[in-house]
Chains A and B, each alone.
Chain A
């Protein structure tokens, strides 16, 4: 068997870039759509095959290469280790599925020339970030990925909302890259060791470690959507076409987490214990706020984007726990927490792609993404509904699907934490455990609402009543992802074993082999401590449910009579009498609303005799805007107005200013030592 080399993957990336250029050349011709998605599908699939060959032929081997491009004295280095291999898998699997979906979905695009080139370039950028092995290559690919995704966000540039989303995304992305730039500058030190090998081998002082940690939190955290850097995410992710939204939510946030893990767990050495506390707290707050925002959102795609924020929070809590356990010398617990984080990364990339594809299918079928105008789609588009339902069950962390397994592993990791030495962590962890439990329960409520309002009930608009099932390609992509949700849920042991090399390399320990346990149970620490068997739970529910139905149908009766709905004797045929998305969220708005989003409901009731309809206005605010971003932007405007005066000085005043600046700089130089 041929050994796989990094160059193989780089050829794949080059292929994607060529596709991007070709798509530009083809422009708006109809050939472009029929060419680009198959090409990106084949390239992503080929990279997956190469990855599989590499992992089978030489497991644990680290591949490296340096290309003579970029800075002349170091070139551009690329490397594949266990972590990059995992994320290469995530990126290319997501890419392959999005391409497959795009084959059908992309045909409905009005301006394909605005999507196709950047789609391929976006995939190439994400691959490069994961492969990069020096600071320059990393930053360059990171920025390339950001810009390509920005172009996709503004691809529907005629809508005001898309433009605004694009602007905010651009500002946040630049801010993130700036933070990363500073972080790598500090890591490289005065000697300028930009290769990751050099950085890894260097000893960093505690101050540098602390600053780099914070900068990474800002840089990678803003891309991943950590609160309070999340504000761009619910605007930008839904603005792109749905298969790109799936890539941004399902995959790009994971690439951001890859960057965070690479620096904090690998290059940085040993961060102080408070950094894990910061991670855990931020993660818990992010999870709860994200899901609460998702619960009050009525736009289907924005709701999904908000729920991405929740999942990122869950992942960061596990990462923080892993960091805390690692510095406390508890390898097994660290491996458990790290496995939980990686498992959730895999899960989220699968079910979030699935849900965005489903949302795209709904938009295709109805042209509508406001839940208040949908409903009853389960009758019109049954296959999409089924796939979307699977995704909803998975993301709500319910057994026997995959979301539950990673949630369960996270809770098991939390239960390991009383042995941690630091008192601060002992107090924080149980409280954050409560927050995670709360966000898991709220996620279930959120997705009951999403599926119930969109797919169940009666159609709330004419378009919803005339929806048509989507094409075969899109359906195939959704069914494959739904199947994976089930497979990873009932056979989690194999996934955990597959993650073992990564945990071994990054936290110095790994969970005992799981797939060899009897009945494919998973028991991360010991069976007497905790165990779960998704396969048996699935079989038990299936057998008990089917057996009961069979018995009841044969021994009692199977008669059915169709009739009008009962509704306590007062059925109203108007679809508007159904519960709507905002009314479903009303109890949650009322319980958490005043605290979290300053929710206000005003009822405008006309006086007796006035025939005007009564109106209910619901106002929900994101406090991150009010408390952080509005003051900052106000400050910038204030400073700009003040500095504007400098534009209108005379030549003498300018010369005076130059002189003053020169003198003060010389003074600083003189006083420096």
Chain B
């Protein structure tokens, strides 16, 4: 019962925090470029406005085009609900391990890329093609990072990994450092952030994610933007619970621990959002065909970390 409550609370928390996080990143970026910026609550207003608008659907849109926003949203939400945020002991944490969580995100991307091709416009096609190219390098890098973590913790189960990471016998390891860097690079690419992609542009030939969802409007667009915010929360929570596991309430802890966990969680993703904004402001967007080099570096780091662990468990 208690586990169910925590699970439900977590699902609500990630949903409630996701637009706020996006708003915070935008606000910090605006302030860093000496603009006033919209309120941090603007994404909520955007979502509500989009939800109320009618959908303008292209004449030749198929049923797939109308189903995909909900599929993408649902799969991202399910994945985000399985990453420990403020406390462990989620009821369904054993449903999907880290590999399955990555695959769930892949499921959402698969359908989003299909939707980009449904109308038959050149923008949709270019977006889908590039998104899949980026994913085809980001996903193996992510999986190799998971391999390193799994070898350290002896498990691919995220709750076990998080518990192991907060225990004192992990210590500083070269392989974990490489995994962290690789994971951050993958997170940047997967969330369509600068320098891989630019979430704020619509009229640039280098755009990837935004080109793919160009034909969406109204509630469909709201779902897709919500899913993108959820994905950002997911990656920040993932990095938080693996590499900064302090404050996460142990399964079966008291109410006070959960409150501390909640505060710690908000602080963690808040810091993450600020760091992301600072990073994004300080770097320029890459050319599309530099992205494989960027992700290739992540892939190599992941592979190197895994290799080190295969050679010796203590590295």
Interface string of B226-252 (1 = CB under 8 A from A): 000000000000000000000000000
Chain B residues within 8 Å of A590, by CB: 289
- Is there contact, CB below 8 Å, between B157 and A529? yes
In the bound assembly, the distance between CA atoms of A404 and B96 in angstroms comes to 12
Say whether A421 faces chain B, with CB atoms less than 8 Å apart.
Answer: no
For window 111-168 of chain B, which residues contact chain A by CB distance below 8 Å?
A: 113-114, 116-126, 128-130, 132-133, 135-140, 143-144, 147, 150-151, 154-157, 160
Dominant secondary structure of chain B at its interface with chain A: helix
Say whether B303 faces chain A, with CB atoms less than 8 Å apart.
Answer: yes
- Is there contact, CB below 8 Å, between A430 and B71? no
- Is there contact, CB below 8 Å, between A537 and B95? yes
Chain B residues within 8 Å of A671, by CB: none
Of B29-37, B38-46, B99-107, which stretch is located at the interface?
Answer: B99-107
In the bound assembly, the distance between CA atoms of A375 and B92 in angstroms comes to 41
Say whether A527 faces chain B, with CB atoms less than 8 Å apart.
Answer: yes
- Is there contact, CB below 8 Å, between B123 and A568? yes
Chain A residues within 8 Å of B144, by CB: 430, 433-434, 437
Chain A residues within 8 Å of B118, by CB: 378, 452, 456-457
Minimum CB–CB distance for A327 against chain B, Å: 18
Of B73-81, B191-199, B263-271, which stretch is located at the interface?
Answer: B73-81
For window 32-73 of chain B, which residues contact chain A by CB distance below 8 Å?
A: 51-60, 62-64, 70-71, 73
- Is there contact, CB below 8 Å, between A453 and B117? yes
For window 360-405 of chain A, which residues contact chain B by CB distance below 8 Å?
A: 375-376, 378-379, 382, 389, 393, 396-399, 404
- Is there contact, CB below 8 Å, between A458 and B120? yes
Contacts A398-B107, A430-B310, A453-B117 hold; do A563 and B125 have CB atoms under 8 A apart? Answer: no
Say whether A531 faces chain B, with CB atoms less than 8 Å apart.
Answer: yes
In the bound assembly, the distance between CA atoms of A540 and B222 in angstroms comes to 21
Contacts A434-B302, A541-B75, A545-B70 hold; do A588 and B133 have CB atoms under 8 A apart? Answer: yes
- Is there contact, CB below 8 Å, between B99 and A448? no
Interface size class of B (residues with CB under 8 A): 35 or more
Contacts A444-B110, A587-B130, A591-B292 hold; do A536 and B136 have CB atoms under 8 A apart? Answer: no
- Is there contact, CB below 8 Å, between A441 and B70? no
Interface residue from B103, B121, B223 paired with A567 (Cβ < 8 Å): B121
Chain A residues within 8 Å of B14, by CB: none
Of A144-152, A328-336, A411-419, which stretch is located at the interface?
Answer: A411-419
- Is there contact, CB below 8 Å, between B103 and A399? yes
Say whether A556 faces chain B, with CB atoms less than 8 Å apart.
Answer: yes
Contacts A399-B103, A521-B95, A567-B214 hold; do A549 and B70 have CB atoms under 8 A apart? Answer: yes
Say whether A206 faces chain B, with CB atoms less than 8 Å apart.
Answer: no
Interface residue from A441, A532, A552 paired with B97 (Cβ < 8 Å): A532
- Is there contact, CB below 8 Å, between A527 and B94? yes
For B211, the closest partner residue in chain A by CB is A568
For window 540-599 of chain A, which residues contact chain B by CB distance below 8 Å?
A: 540-542, 544-546, 548-549, 552, 556-557, 559-568, 571-572, 575, 577-579, 583-588, 590-591
Say whether A451 faces chain B, with CB atoms less than 8 Å apart.
Answer: yes
- Is there contact, CB below 8 Å, between B97 and A376? no
Say whether B313 faces chain A, with CB atoms less than 8 Å apart.
Answer: yes
In the bound assembly, the distance between CA atoms of A431 and B300 in angstroms comes to 10
Minimum CB–CB distance for B148 against chain A, Å: 9
- Is there contact, CB below 8 Å, between A452 and B128? yes
Interface size class of A (residues with CB under 8 A): 35 or more
In the bound assembly, the distance between CA atoms of A566 and B65 in angstroms comes to 14
Interface residue from B54, B96, B116, B302 paired with A561 (Cβ < 8 Å): B54
Contacts A433-B147, A541-B71 hold; do A565 and B58 have CB atoms under 8 A apart? Answer: yes
Say whether B311 faces chain A, with CB atoms less than 8 Å apart.
Answer: yes
Dominant secondary structure of chain A at its interface with chain B: helix
For B202, the closest partner residue in chain A by CB is A568
Chain B residues within 8 Å of A542, by CB: 74
Say whether B215 faces chain A, with CB atoms less than 8 Å apart.
Answer: yes
In the bound assembly, the distance between CA atoms of A268 and B4 in angstroms comes to 53
Interface string of A428-462 (1 = CB under 8 A from B): 01110110011011101101110111001110000
Say whether A530 faces chain B, with CB atoms less than 8 Å apart.
Answer: yes
- Is there contact, CB below 8 Å, between B135 and A548? no
Say whether B219 faces chain A, with CB atoms less than 8 Å apart.
Answer: yes
Say whether A265 faces chain B, with CB atoms less than 8 Å apart.
Answer: no
In the bound assembly, the distance between CA atoms of A437 and B148 in angstroms comes to 14
Chain B residues within 8 Å of A578, by CB: 120-122, 125
Minimum CB–CB distance for A414 against chain B, Å: 7
- Is there contact, CB below 8 Å, between A445 and B303? no
- Is there contact, CB below 8 Å, between A441 and B136? yes
Chain B residues within 8 Å of A445, by CB: 132-133, 135-136
In the bound assembly, the distance between CA atoms of A72 and B21 in angstroms comes to 81
In the bound assembly, the distance between CA atoms of A375 and B118 in angstroms comes to 9
Contacts A434-B302, A536-B95, A568-B214 hold; do A418 and B60 have CB atoms under 8 A apart? Answer: no
Q: Which of A404, A444, A557 has the most CB of B within 10 A?
A: A444
Say whether B28 faces chain A, with CB atoms less than 8 Å apart.
Answer: no
Minimum CB–CB distance for B129 against chain A, Å: 5
In the bound assembly, the distance between CA atoms of A546 and B223 in angstroms comes to 13
For A426, the closest partner residue in chain B by CB is B310
Pull 21 A–B residue pairs with CB atoms less than 8 Å apart, ordered by A: A399-B107, A414-B147, A431-B303, A434-B303, A440-B139, A448-B114, A458-B60, A523-B94, A529-B157, A530-B155, A536-B92, A537-B100, A537-B104, A548-B74, A552-B51, A557-B219, A561-B55, A562-B58, A567-B121, A567-B215, A579-B129
**What 8 A-B pairs have minimum CB-CB distances, sorted nearest first?**
A579-B125, A457-B120, A545-B74, A452-B117, A437-B140, A587-B133, A445-B132, A544-B74
8 additional contacts, CB 8 Å, given A447-B110, A565-B120?
A437-B140, A456-B117, A552-B222, A566-B214, A568-B123, A568-B203, A578-B121, A591-B292
